[in-house]
Structure 1
């Protein structure tokens, strides 16, 4: 693992996903030829609407990494999705972005299913949860990177974090930021929209995002989040992401248009008519 947070971004290649991972209205979906968006939705607090619980599989030419582990209730379908997308390749790294259940609850099952895999991230407390797996835990800090072959996976400092052990990630080739609980494109969607990108669905509901941030992050209503906006802007300017991939909400392929809404959603500003 190297330490390098420089903008060593490669050009993305284009290819068509296989029908198994194309847009169908339900997860999974290949958001690039090498990145699978999987997970499933659960009923939201809005009647007859869905909310995402997502994880991502990124394939480099040499190594692969799973970002978040998925909700335990979804183990059987997401394991099948991952195995199908790997096409016989091993799973090399598992990155729980933090220790909350939807992000780390399946860690042990993934490590048992792929006994050569190494768990990476802020692993400070995981030996207490899984002592028998401790030799396969590797601590990562912001600025560290993994060489996946044709791309690097960078560990980023989380600007808008959930827990103290939260980390974000960045794929230097396809320029995807993996944001964990931040930038939740919280638009309670109807069945048939589960795999839609932000350009394919209505804008996020500001009030829903504020409610989510209040419950998931806890701190936004107690502090002035505006102070963090410059740090977020600097991160985005340095990395120039094409996609924002969070755990709760659709994948954002319109980051420039959507970031002002995310800022309003985390700052708890009054919703403008």
Structure 2
């Protein structure tokens, strides 16, 4: 491994780095790039991903989340390389929190024909000059990308009221924003692993993340949401779970029960 690949902030120099290298970016399928970078978490010696995904259909492309503004130069380089001359057609901020939508204006100015899609209810307040390029969508709506459809879904485990999830019908990737997140060890080579390549997520660290990011699991019983999540997974049969703040999960059947434990915190005693 080259030295510049050995840290969370490293950046690959050529297309070969779209394979597993120890740091992002990594192509999780031939048509889907996982990029972003990592930042220190609230747990010592652990890092959290701040991820975004570029999905290429045969006709159209879509960017899932925008990335953290601190990572702009790196993720822009990654996206340009993976697009390989193609335009970016759609930008989907899963919700309006900074790591997910903070680079929306930059992407839209870099790609002046791109359309932002999602629950765009308040975005015109922040970007009034771009309002004509916003498209409001709802769960059940789809984008036709050519050889696949991009299906918008209701979020079972949401962060903000404007959160949406999505599903790629060809590669069967479920994009679930802040859900199913967990930290990873900040050691060389740990930043682009799939769930099958690292240890299972730690329940206490998932609870720490959900306490800070989702907020509501510590105030309410989340177990009534489990049948809805089970139904969604049974219906879609995802091969990959692609979240914003953890590794890409290629072992959904084994890992989802752990995510349930990580979100089933229950009301905190007074």
TM-score, normalising length: structure 1 = 0.91
Aligned with residue 126 of structure 2, among 112, 129, 145: 129
- Cα distance in 2 for partners of 1:169, 1:46 equals 29
1:4-46 superposed Cα distances (whole Å, 9 cap, x missing partner) = xxxxxxxxxxxxx951301000000000000000000011223
Q: Are 2:33 and 2:53, in contact at CA under 8 Å, matched by a contact in 1?
A: yes
**Structure 2 counterpart SS, 1:190:** coil
Size of the aligned set, in residue pairs, is 254
Of 241-250 and 183-192, deviating more is 183-192
Q: Are 2:182 and 2:209, in contact at CA under 8 Å, matched by a contact in 1?
A: no
Aligned with residue 84 of structure 1, among 74, 81, 88: 81
Match for residue 101 of structure 2? 104
- State how 1:143-162 maps to structure 2 within 5 Å: 143-162=140-159
Match for residue 47 of structure 2? 50
TM-score, normalising length: structure 2 = 0.92
Q: Within the alignment, does 1:244 sit opposite 2:249 as a pair?
A: no
Of 190-199 and 156-165, deviating more is 190-199
Unaligned runs of 5+ in 1: 1-16
Q: Are 2:184 and 2:190, in contact at CA under 8 Å, matched by a contact in 1?
A: no
**Structure 1 counterpart SS, 2:187:** coil
1:205-251 superposed Cα distances (whole Å, 9 cap, x missing partner) = 10000010011001001111000000000000000000000000100
**Structure 1 counterpart SS, 2:37:** strand
Unaligned runs of 5+ in 2: 1-13
Please provide the CA RMSD for this pair.
Answer: 1.4
Match for residue 24 of structure 1? 21
1:131-175 superposed Cα distances (whole Å, 9 cap, x missing partner) = 000000000100000000000000000000000000001000000
